[in-house]
Amino acid sequence: MSFRPSDRLTKLPPYLFAEFERKRAALEKQGKDIVNLGIGDPDQPPPRLLLETMKAHLRDEGVHQYSSSQGIEEFRSAVASFMKKRYGLALENREICLGIGSKELIAHMPLALTNPGDVVLCPEPGYPPYRSGTLFALSEPYVMPLRKERGFLPDLDSIPADVLKRAKILYVNYPNNPTGAVAPREFYAKCVEFAKAHGLLVVSDEAYAELYYGKPPCSFLELPGARDVGVAVHSMTKTFSMAGWRVAWVCGNAEVVEIIRGFKANCDSGQFMGFQKAVAKVLTKGTGDMKSIRAMYKRRRDLFVKGCRKLGWDVTSPEAGLYIWFEVPAKGLTSMQFAERALEAGVIMLPGSGFGQAAEGFMRVALTVTEDRIREAVKRLATLKL
């Protein structure tokens, strides 16, 4: 007997990060040392407060059973107080739902909120689950290219009327992966108007909102009227170096949050309650750690940008996020060819083409290695004959 993946699954492009992970593992098996600037997987340990609080809760009674998929009250109250303090938002617990990481929230959104044949507006380059979640739901992704000359903001006015008639979700992601762009308030205000005019939901992926190097970026939800048309997705992954722990939340429009809660009740059973309690403690008492995390990424960013500029590469320093996004510094090479050359020199960086056609010609570097490793990467890149 043989088994085949579903048509929906075979329709998806290969997951770029997984391909590069395979290449890295194969090279390391041959004894090669590789500096991995590929996946945005924070390399630091999570906050001590999380570990200590979690340890204490392991012995508690009543935390080991199933919990509801929307998250315990203590977790949602802590999220509400964090969102109030950071963004001035007044959210009720019912306007917040737990995610087992934000990837599942994002990927499930079209299944919970669209029907086959609906359109989902997806930025390109963009985080792959916007598109894969849409295809799983048998909806159609409509690609919104993010161009450098537009500050990597989508041109909403260029979307054809027949597409807009079927559009149900608009994904926006700022601070942006991979471009590092930050959305000005005017862009979010435009999204509110646009969503109202076309009857669609804005899903603002704010996974990188706490990793900024200048002025703190605002949330989409801060804009007047935003909560009538949208939700924001936040994650602990990048902010607190907790990629493996899996915790996030979606908040905003109460009706949409309720729909997501109802959807999730059918496919997960929340997160370990002891962990949710520890996360609640970090969100209410441990946010001071974010300052040193930001300072660390800023040092790494500056080191990489300075190093590349010394090589004569035109590299812009991002205002926020975990990534450096820059044009392939060699005429005549595609981003994949450049990534292959970098890999031969012992450095993994991701080719723009893996983020969609609109991103061809760019490279992405993740700042998730130490300063020593960044120095080493730059040294190796300097040996490339371009």
Q: Does 351 bind ligand PLP (CB under 6 A)?
A: no
Among 53, 70, 114, 177, binds ligand PLP (CB under 6 A): 177
The count of residues interacting with ligand PLP (CB under 6 A) is: 14
Q: Does 101 bind ligand PLP (CB under 6 A)?
A: yes
Q: Does 248 bind ligand PLP (CB under 6 A)?
A: yes
| Min CB(2)–ligand PLP separation in Å | 32
Among 121, 243, 342, 348, binds ligand PLP (CB under 6 A): 243
Among 135, 169, 207, 209, binds ligand PLP (CB under 6 A): 207
Q: In this complex, which beta carbon is closest to ligand PLP, that of residue 47 or of residue 307?
A: 47
| Min CB(106)–ligand PLP separation in Å | 6
Please, what's the b/e burial string for 9-40 (b: 16 or more CB within 10 A of its CB; e: otherwise)? eeeeeeebbeebbeebeebeeeeeebbbbbbb
| Min CB(284)–ligand PLP separation in Å | 20
Q: Is the torsion defined by CA of 111, 112, 117, 121 positive or negative?
A: negative
Among 77, 93, 102, 134, binds ligand PLP (CB under 6 A): 102
Question: Please, are residues 226 and 309 in contact by the beta-carbon 8 Å criterion?
Answer: no
Which token pair is 288?
A: 């001071």
Question: Please, are residues 219 and 231 in contact by the beta-carbon 8 Å criterion?
Answer: no
> What pairing do the DSSP bridges indicate for beta strands 201-205 and 167-173?
parallel
Question: Please, are residues 277 and 75 in contact by the beta-carbon 8 Å criterion?
Answer: yes
Stretch that binds ligand PLP, among 99-107, 209-217, 254-262, 325-333 (CB under 6 A): 99-107
Stretch that binds ligand PLP, among 66-74, 80-88, 97-105, 146-154 (CB under 6 A): 97-105
Q: Does 221 bind ligand PLP (CB under 6 A)?
A: no
Please, what's the b/e burial string for 286-319 (b: 16 or more CB within 10 A of its CB; e: otherwise)? bbebbeebbebbbebbebbbebbeeeebebeebe
Among 53, 139, 173, 179, binds ligand PLP (CB under 6 A): 173
| Min CB(205)–ligand PLP separation in Å | 5
Q: Does 40 bind ligand PLP (CB under 6 A)?
A: yes
Bridge partners of residue 362, in order along the sequence: 327
Alpha helix locations (H) across the chain? 7-10, 16-29, 48-58, 73-87, 102-113, 129-136, 161-166, 185-198, 226-229, 254-264, 273-285, 289-310, 335-344, 371-381
| Min CB(208)–ligand PLP separation in Å | 7
Q: Does 47 bind ligand PLP (CB under 6 A)?
A: no
Q: How many Cβ atoms are within 10 Å of 88's Cβ, its own excluded?
A: 11
Residue numbers at the binding site for ligand PLP (CB under 6 A):
40, 101-103, 106, 127, 173, 177, 205, 207, 235, 237, 243, 248
